[in-house]
Amino acid sequence: MLLYELLRFRRAGLVVAAVACLMTTGNAQTPVLEIQVSNEYYTPPLSGGTITVYVTNYTDSIAGFNLWLQLDRPDVIEFIPTTGVHLQVDPAGTLTADWGLVDAHSKSGTPYDAGVVGVADTFSYTGGSFFGPSSTARPLFRLPFVFKPRADTLPDPVANVVISGSSSFLSFARPDGSTVDGIVGPYGWVDTTKIKLRHGKVMVVCKGDADVNTDGMVLSVADMVELIKIYNGMAPIREYLWHADLNADCVIDSLDIKVFECLFKWGFGCLPYPWPPTTCCNPQIKLCCAGVVGNVDCDPSDQVDISDLSALIDHLFISLKPLCCLGEANIDGANMIDISDLTGLIDNLYITATPFTRPACAQ
């Protein structure tokens, strides 16, 4: 009797599981379309680039479309105007390369949004330049853009490229001229179960790749020498300082020199992973030395006082502890930190009180 009951419940459980599986399968909906904007990454010096819009049309052939792209950071990039409200658009090498019309224009009258319209040369299933269904994302068109000068005051500025989900600005047509239906949901917005919109972004990324002297060769002895000179205040600050931030902490200091030392002693296992590391761009990338010399203890307020004198004495005569920033302790501008720097600091604090004027890092 017990065995019979167990079998009965087991059969019931299998039936319930089968029904649940069928319900799940029935509810899962494959989208009709997917529209995706590419993610683009650029390293300074910056000029311009392109974003690519991709389409995956699972069921319908496409012979026309209407899209509206918007930039959320007009201080980072802008599209390129041509005449009036029209913008540059590049269909070369895409699905629309042979179409009769591919036009980009700004709906706001600014270079910060792009309404793009495409029409095949013939509306017919028997000929013309329409493209058939595919489950693979394929390029639909490209939009060139330019970077704005000094685009951002934040690390790694990002401009998001957003596809409008309003049905007034998003539609696709079949080769017979009919509209791809089912993609519009309630309230005039697209049905996200039928069409997937994947927004993109343009990001400025700076890499601590150890090309400190910017000669195109990375991790060389010349790069290490240049880094030591900059750190000691004996070389000009280079425009693309982030190349020297080998440990990606957004500060150029002795820790970056230690990465070089470890590399030359033990090999590539000393380098951060992944290599090269992403760090801050200008103006967030900093040298440990700021302002004029004297902040030996690396006080965040950049004050020169008796604690700096104590730190220098400790370094020279007591614990010999490495300094947090050699450039700040290089009072006399010589090639090493010694008693003459201590003398200069004492003179500044207690004797002549002559203000320091020598930059902590050479300009």
Residue-wise pLDDT for 292-305, tens only, equals 888 898 887 888 99
Q: Which residues contact 195 (CB under 8 A, 6 or more apart)?
A: 31, 32, 33, 34, 35, 170, 183
E strands in the chain? 33-37, 39-42, 48-57, 64-71, 77-79, 86-87, 101-105, 113-119, 138-147, 158-163, 171-173, 195-198, 200-204, 206-207, 251-252, 278-279, 286-287
What local confidence, expressed as pLDDT, does residue 9 receive?
35
Question: Are 361 and 226 contacting, i.e. CB atoms less than 8 angstroms apart?
Answer: no
Q: What integer is the mean pLDDT of 350-360?
A: 81
Q: Tell me what pLDDT residue 233 has.
A: 66
Query: What percentage of residues in the chain have a pLDDT greater than 90?
Result: 52
Please state whether the predicted TM-score (pTM) of the whole model is above 0.95.
Answer: no
Tokens representing 278 are 């992403």
**Dihedral sign from CA coordinates of 102, 104, 105, 106:** positive
Residue 156: pLDDT band by 50, 70, 90 thresholds?
Answer: low
pLDDT at position 322: 83
Q: Among the listed ranges 14-28, 203-217, 220-234, 283-297, which one has the minimum average pLDDT value?
A: 14-28
Tell me the C-alpha distance between 312 and 331, whole Å.
Answer: 11
Whole-number Å distance between alpha carbons of 328 and 322: 13
Q: Give the other-Cβ count within 10 Å of 273's Cβ.
A: 6
Higher pLDDT, residue 277 or 151: 277
pLDDT at 326: 79
Q: In this predicted structure, what is the pLDDT of residue 50?
A: 97
Contact 344, 350 (CB under 8 A): no
33-204 CATH choice from 3.40.50.970, 3.40.605.10, 3.30.70.3040, 2.60.40.680: 2.60.40.680
Question: Percentage of residues in the chain with pLDDT exceeding 70?
Answer: 86
Sequence-ordered list of residues with C-beta below 8 angstroms from that of 149, at least 6 positions apart, any chain: none
The pLDDT tens digits of the residues spanning 4-27 come to: 343 343 344 433 333 334 344 444
Average pLDDT over residues 144-152: 78
Mean pLDDT of 225-243: 80
How many Å apart are CA 64 and CA 119, to the nearest integer?
A: 4
Closest CA to 121 of 205, 63, 78: 63
**How many Cβ atoms sit within 10 Å of the Cβ of residue 192?**
12
What pLDDT, on a 0 to 100 scale, did the predictor assign at position 361? 64
The domain at 290-363 falls in which architecture? Answer: Orthogonal Bundle (1.10)
Q: How many helices (H) and strands (E) does the chain have?
A: 6, 17
Please give the average per-residue pLDDT across 307-311, as a whole number: 94
Tell me what the mean pLDDT of segment 35-63 comes to. Answer: 93
Confidence category of residue 181, pLDDT binned at 50, 70, 90: confident
* Mean pLDDT across 37-46: 90
Determine the pLDDT at residue 19.
36
Q: For residue 107, is pLDDT > 90? A: yes
* Mean pLDDT, range 194-218, rounded to an integer: 92
Q: What is the pLDDT of residues 51-95, one digit of tens each?
A: 999 999 999 999 999 999 999 988 889 999 999 999 999 999 999
Would you say the C-alpha torsion 201, 206, 211, 216 has a positive or negative sign?
A: positive
Which of 82-86, 87-91, 131-135, 240-244 is predicted least confidently?
240-244
